[in-house]
Amino acid sequence: MVNQDRRRWMQWFALATGGAGSAMLSACANLTDRETVRVNLVGMDLLPGEGMEVRMAVKLRIQNPRDTALDFDGIAIDLDVRDANFASGVSSERGSIPRFGETVVTVPVSVSALAMLRQAMGVASGASITHIDYVLRGRLAGAGFGGLRFSSSGEIDLPKGLGMK
């Protein structure tokens, strides 16, 4: 009877360790495709706002340089302008970016009146500003363990009607 219990325990142990090993190998295989997803800010359009906020639709081009498709289920972004927090937004948009492919995603963001005022006051010269430097940070949800974080920076033209003097 003791031998039979020991044999069952050994069989269970072999199955458990084999299953765990298989899961770890599968996870490691997914980790080998670690090319960084590129996310670029490609446009901003004004949206109707409420009260003391400005709403904009931020257009992002997401490029997938990986060997496998990238599925996502939601996106969250923070947009800094001229080294200050400017806007944030979320979207429940979902999709799949094919291997070595790209897609454009639109995320509605809110800009507080205080952030707009701070940016307008930060302009020391009398010249009209039509483009700004930005830093974009965010996360694609559902793309791996806890999502996939990204960051990019660059320069973008301001939406018409939003240029600062």
Which residues are CB-neighbours of 48 under 8 A, at least 6 positions away?
A: 55
Please answer whether residues 44 and 58 qualify as being in contact, where contact means their C-beta atoms are separated by less than 8 angstroms: yes
In tens digits, the chain (165 residues) has pLDDT values of 567 777 777 777 677 776 655 555 555 545 545 678 999 999 889 898 887 788 999 999 999 999 999 999 999 999 998 888 889 999 999 999 999 999 999 999 998 777 666 666 665 555 556 677 889 999 999 866 668 899 999 987 766 655 544
Q: Is 31 left (phi over 0), alpha (psi -120 to 50) or beta?
A: alpha
